[in-house]
Structure 1
């Protein structure tokens, strides 16, 4: 139950917010969201299932709502708040704007921090080794002899870190640090940890200390999944001690699925295994050969089993008929019996090799810890060992997944191979789950002290069911579901126009008709955004419209011709001057694009954003649904298109005084049976449908 102290804190925050903001507008939907989130976290709806799923339309102010609902509750119950986002833009908004504002209005003091993964920080010891013993570390880490400029950069980084002018965060260095350099000096879990005294002052260790002290932590979905995959509580707070506010939650299923997938080449792996075989004795000597000898023997035995096994599998798989993309997918995820047996052998050998290398690595670390070996002498061996150990862990994961039998319950794993490129003979083995909901439930939903999932596009076809299936929730499992409409007056602020066009998008002549159609609907408009289904189509139409643009003095800004930031800056400047400005973009411009007021009054959607299931994972998922008597188009493609169409339409109205029109050039939205459900899932714009 909500206690009086918590109610008072939330009320005080809200009253202070009203005083802080000059143009504060009370919003019923925002207030309702705050109250319902607080009740959910307090267990008023379900004592154990303290989970809320909320679709909050544009203009509600969902970020401030979940801060109001979660932070006072966490401070009152001695819990941490973890805010997870999908985009850097939202992270920056939270860190630089929303949280500083909330700290001013909160009656209780709290601290907040931006969390980054270990790989964003350098390891001070590795960096010192690069600069102090270039030859030794070069042999250990660099794939090839480093360039002179790379060595100079490493010395600049070391100097800045030593003098306190750089915090070791890759993103805070004023210039781009090349991958070739960063790979060598980046922190990794095997060498850069508190167990080694020399690493306790490394940048990641310092960042981790600050993270442990913070009350509110802003992360991204990738870091959240990385921590959960490690068991939770390794980088971020333990799920049982944290309240998770997951914003832009519609991205979570894909991020979670990708984190559970794995891939590795065949000949490429055999190549670095040979290098490990050669380096093994040197690394084991650093660990003390008497103690490490049996692990070295097991390591070399495992390598001798893996290398010929991988090459044999490569010869066997090379006979499979690859498609035009150089891919072969195993139907229903089922491997041929001979390959299934080989996968089990590869997993067994990979596990033995990985465990042996880990033992040797631990022995080196123990010698450093016990004072038998100086950190400076051990560092090259530890760095080299960690490099191979991380690769072995991935190899073990790949062949573990490949060797797993398909379960009678749930979807099978997607398994496929892909040619590296036309010149190489190597193949990459890929494995991915199709459905990840059960893992999210196991790792997060069933453990967390509380969860809020938020997005402006959570539902598909006005239902939460599709999202629930993706993330492992059920609408009757005790979780709280809310769909809060935007405060915008859609009927009076915007028109949705479906013109009469000669062809539907699947017709060969559709693209050829677009230049003339667009010219008609761009005429007389100052600020337009045109969304295309593909780069090919966008570029072809842009080329056809260039003469018209010059003649009419339009500034045509095409995605890909400059950076996104540069294009948007130019567009905004054009709008300020009253110059006609037209943005051409693909799917990535349909989300996260904020063009309020007169920066966008004319939005044209050329095609319903159906995703063609071309990736092996999507093809396998469609195959699985068909095998169960379902319809992949209606169960996957239409719901996904609904969400993307809502996101696209959401670019037009960003503030309560915005206005304009949306033109959909895809007649299928009124001619096909599924079209009505797509149309009805959009906000209630004033509709103009031409017949």
Structure 2
């Protein structure tokens, strides 16, 4: 229950913040959110399942609401508050603006920091070794390095080393002013196998220092990928223990998709055979370094397991070479219902067992070497490059085993999408095998919702067609007792601030002539003296229309022709100089784009943003829904498109003082039943539907 003293604290904090916010106006929707978050996390709705799902429209002040509702409670209960986002932009906003302001004016005493994965930091010993060895040793050091570093890359490596040694750089990738080439970073990045906290030599590494500082924090800002990495390790390995943590999952509409990507696995056949051969040579080298006879037995076992795996992989190679699969235009073949042929399934079991045995052996050798260094029997400078290389192989074996274990699991548990892609090279060909779970709700439920102290999931777009059902199902919260679903409208006066127009047209978006039709009619809806954003359904369509309009003398800023940052700078500069601006973009500009006031007054959406189910995962999802008697178009495609359309329309109004026009050139919103349902989910703009 929410104690009277905690209620008083929340009210006081709210008042402190309100007194220091310029143009602050009390909002009943925000007050309601604060109260509901606090009640949920205090266990007023359910003693164990303290989770609320919040859809809050633009301008509601979500970040302030969850800080007010969750942070006083977390501090009182001595629990950590972890705020997870999907985008860097929101992380930067929280760290640079929202949390500093809240700390300064709330009256609460708390510490906060941004938490990054260890791969964003250098391993100091890797950096030292990479610089002080020849190119051949560098390539041994990093198995994925297929050619020596270039002069430019070597110069960058030396600059990094000098800056770190002279304490001018803290050793994290994001704080380096210039771009660090991936090949250079791959040589020096920290990884969970090479950087051992128990070893004295590694206790001053940048990641370990950052981790020590992390434990002193009350609020941690992370991304969804780091959250999943921690859950995958069992929780509490990178971040605080889940049962001692209240999670705020902001931009929660991305969570299921990112979880699905995180849970997938892929590996080639011939490429795997090649690196497994290299692994046997490496393990022999590693065994010789280990003290006593400890490594010899493990090396023999590892070599036997690798040889078994390679024999089976060669059989798989022959099976795939001789199979009569009907590959698509992009050389992909998807297994229907995720069911692989019997011949492949039998080998999958054997490869899964062999790779697991090899992984166990390599892990034991790795741990033994770490212990030898800790005991002082082996010098760190000898062990570090070997630990770095074994770490690379352990990561590869884990991924390989994950793939083949899933291929060996037939018809059990959650449905999976499985497919093969043919790869053609100058001298040879290969096959890339992939695997991805279609549903991940069970994973989130098991690893996160059942373990955490509490959770707040929020976004401007969580419901679809007026219901939370789709989101609840894909995120593992469907039919969960005690989960609170809350929808809070935006404070905007939509009918006064914006007009939504759907022009008359005889050309359907499915017609071949539609792109030509847009190119010819678009000038009618552009305002060359103001700020325009035109959102397209595809790059092809955007390119087609931009080429045509440029022949007519239009000055356009087109996504992809320069960086996003440069594009937006030029757009705002044009408006500041009173020139007007026309910005062309695809779906990726429909989210996270903040152009308030005069920087966006005319928004044009060319087409309902339907996803084309061409990827093997989307095809498998549709197939699974059909197998259950459902309609994939209505149960997946339409809800997803409805959410994207809301996001697209959300670009226009960012503040209560904003105004403008939205034009949607897709008549299906009024001619199709599903279109009318989509139209009803949009904010109540003033409507102008032409006939």
What band does the TM-score fall into relative to the shorter chain? over 0.9
- Which residue of structure 2 aligns with residue 334 of structure 1? 339
Tell me the SS of whatever aligns to 1:522.
Answer: coil
C-alpha deviation, 1:309, in angstroms = 1.6
- Which residue of structure 2 aligns with residue 405 of structure 1? 410
Task: State which of 534, 541, 545 in structure 1 corresponds to 2:538.
Answer: 534
Change (3 A) 1:476 1:173: closer
Alignment partners' CA distance in 2, 1:541 and 1:149 = 40
Alpha carbons 1:82, 1:242 under 8 Å: kept = yes
Alignment partners' CA distance in 2, 1:366 and 1:95 = 39
Alpha carbons 2:527, 2:602 under 8 Å: kept = no
- TM-score calculated relative to the size of structure 1: 0.97
Alignment partners' CA distance in 1, 2:101 and 2:584 = 35
CA deviations on 1:574-605 (whole Å, 9 max, x unpaired) are 11122121111000011111111111111111
Task: State which of 172, 177, 189 in structure 2 corresponds to 1:186.
Answer: 189
Alpha carbons 1:555, 1:580 under 8 Å: kept = no
Change (3 A) 1:328 1:374: same
Alpha carbons 1:286, 1:381 under 8 Å: kept = no
Task: State which of 462, 469, 475 in structure 1 corresponds to 2:466.
Answer: 462
Alignment partners' CA distance in 2, 1:22 and 1:578 = 27
Name whichever of 13-22 and 215-224 sits farther off: 13-22
- Which residue of structure 1 aligns with residue 367 of structure 2? 362
C-alpha deviation, 1:402, in angstroms = 1.1
Q: Does 1:432 align with 2:436?
A: yes
Alpha carbons 1:137, 1:380 under 8 Å: kept = no
Change (3 A) 1:339 1:446: same
CA deviations on 1:218-243 (whole Å, 9 max, x unpaired) are 00011111111111111111110000
Alignment partners' CA distance in 1, 2:186 and 2:614 = 32
Tell me the SS of whatever aligns to 2:293.
Answer: helix
Alpha carbons 2:138, 2:148 under 8 Å: kept = no
- Which residue of structure 2 aligns with residue 278 of structure 1? 281
C-alpha deviation, 1:32, in angstroms = 0.7
Name whichever of 666-675 and 285-294 sits farther off: 285-294
Alignment partners' CA distance in 2, 1:688 and 1:525 = 22
Name whichever of 306-315 and 173-182 sits farther off: 306-315
CA deviations on 1:121-161 (whole Å, 9 max, x unpaired) are 01011111122333544433243323333333223222221
- Which residue of structure 2 aligns with residue 343 of structure 1? 348
CA deviations on 1:635-661 (whole Å, 9 max, x unpaired) are 000000100000001011111011111
C-alpha deviation, 1:542, in angstroms = 0.3
Alignment partners' CA distance in 2, 1:429 and 1:92 = 37
Tell me the SS of whatever aligns to 1:244.
Answer: strand
CA deviations on 1:142-195 (whole Å, 9 max, x unpaired) are 433233333332232222212221111011111111111111111111110212
Q: Does 1:504 align with 2:508?
A: yes
Alpha carbons 2:500, 2:662 under 8 Å: kept = yes
Tell me the SS of whatever aligns to 2:215.
Answer: helix
Tell me the SS of whatever aligns to 1:487.
Answer: coil
Tell me the SS of whatever aligns to 1:208.
Answer: helix
Q: Does 1:247 align with 2:269?
A: no
CA deviations on 1:369-406 (whole Å, 9 max, x unpaired) are 11101111111211121121111111111111111121
- TM-score calculated relative to the size of structure 2: 0.97
User: Equivalences for 1:26-45 in 2 at 5 Å?
Assistant: 26-45=26-45
Alpha carbons 1:525, 1:602 under 8 Å: kept = no
- Which residue of structure 2 aligns with residue 448 of structure 1? 452
Alignment partners' CA distance in 1, 2:479 and 2:689 = 35
- Which residue of structure 2 aligns with residue 139 of structure 1? 140
Alpha carbons 1:465, 1:475 under 8 Å: kept = no
Tell me the SS of whatever aligns to 1:420.
Answer: strand
Name whichever of 522-531 and 58-67 sits farther off: 522-531
Tell me the SS of whatever aligns to 1:426.
Answer: strand
User: Equivalences for 1:232-271 in 2 at 5 Å?
Assistant: 232-271=235-274
Unaligned runs of 5+ in 1: none
Alpha carbons 1:249, 1:455 under 8 Å: kept = yes
Alignment partners' CA distance in 2, 1:525 and 1:316 = 63
Tell me the SS of whatever aligns to 1:478.
Answer: coil
Tell me the SS of whatever aligns to 1:656.
Answer: coil
CA deviations on 1:607-636 (whole Å, 9 max, x unpaired) are 001001111011001001101110000000
- Which residue of structure 1 aligns with residue 167 of structure 2? 164
Alignment partners' CA distance in 1, 2:115 and 2:399 = 24
Alignment partners' CA distance in 2, 1:524 and 1:333 = 52
C-alpha deviation, 1:475, in angstroms = 5.1
Alignment partners' CA distance in 2, 1:256 and 1:579 = 44
- Which residue of structure 2 aligns with residue 625 of structure 1? 625
Name whichever of 385-394 and 533-542 sits farther off: 385-394
Q: Does 1:291 align with 2:294?
A: yes
C-alpha deviation, 1:360, in angstroms = 1.1
Alignment partners' CA distance in 2, 1:155 and 1:557 = 39
Alignment partners' CA distance in 1, 2:108 and 2:546 = 55
CA deviations on 1:534-558 (whole Å, 9 max, x unpaired) are 000000100000133x3xxx53111
Alignment partners' CA distance in 1, 2:141 and 2:572 = 50
- Which residue of structure 2 aligns with residue 130 of structure 1? 130
- Which residue of structure 2 aligns with residue 216 of structure 1? 219
